[in-house]
Amino acid sequence: MTATTPRLADDRRHVLRRRIRWIVSATIAYNFVEAVVAIAAGTAASSSALIGFGLDSTIEVLSAAAVAWQFSRRDPERWEKGTLRVIAVAFFALATYVTASSVLAIVGRVDVEHSTLGIVITALSVVVMPFLSLAERRAGRELGSATAVADSKQTLVCTYLSAAVLMGLVLNSAFGWWWADAVAGLVIAAFAIREGLEAWRGDSCATSVGMVLDEDHLDD
């Protein structure tokens, strides 16, 4: 019994690491397509919100790629702190861009044309992103990976941003409320700053990988 328990734990850890790699790979692929479509639609509609949404998708690709790289290493726990810092910087970059684009949109009273493609891609993201975030968060928590949990929060922020941009596009098309998505963007920026600070401090997960390993050593 004593000899088989560590083996079962190792097998489970391997399954969770592989699952996280698949999740972040799917996130990277989806966000790449999302970025291309959103930037193209935003350019056609003169929508700074859609363009910003597309650029945000590239930040999500960076975050997911960082986690994918970490979990491709032989000893992923060794790269925990550095990967968390990359995710934190991605959060700060997201907050900076969204704040700047929202303020410029409000000050300049930017008129946005109707974009059916923009509405479709943001609505799709509102549906897809929560599932990716939830799957990665569950696997990350069970594994004890702060980076996976932090990256799942990044995906969740992108879900909120998708909903904000979608709401802005719909309200602008229906009622001419050009300022709606800019105001929502400022709220998302504040949330992104908070999550970035947590990732930088390493507070994104209750138990880090190092703590789990220490507990394993104590049990031995």
Q: How far is CA 209 from the centre of its chain?
A: 20
Lowest-pLDDT range, 4-18, 162-176, 188-202?
A: 4-18
CATH 1.10.287 fits 4-219, yes or no: no
Residue ranges per domain, the chain? Answer: 4-219
Nearest to 118 by CA among 87, 154, 162: 162
Q: 218 Cβ partners below 8 Å, 6+ apart? A: none
State pTM to two decimals: 0.69
* Measured CA angle at 92 (ends 210, 61), to 5 deg: 75
pLDDT (tens digit, 9 = 90+) per residue, 83-122?
Answer: 778 778 888 988 898 888 888 888 887 777 888 999 999 9
In the block, residue with structure tokens 């394993």:
216
Distance (Å) of CA 212 to CA 78, 85, 92, 114 = 13, 20, 29, 51
Lowest-pLDDT range, 39-53, 79-93, 143-157, 206-220?
A: 206-220
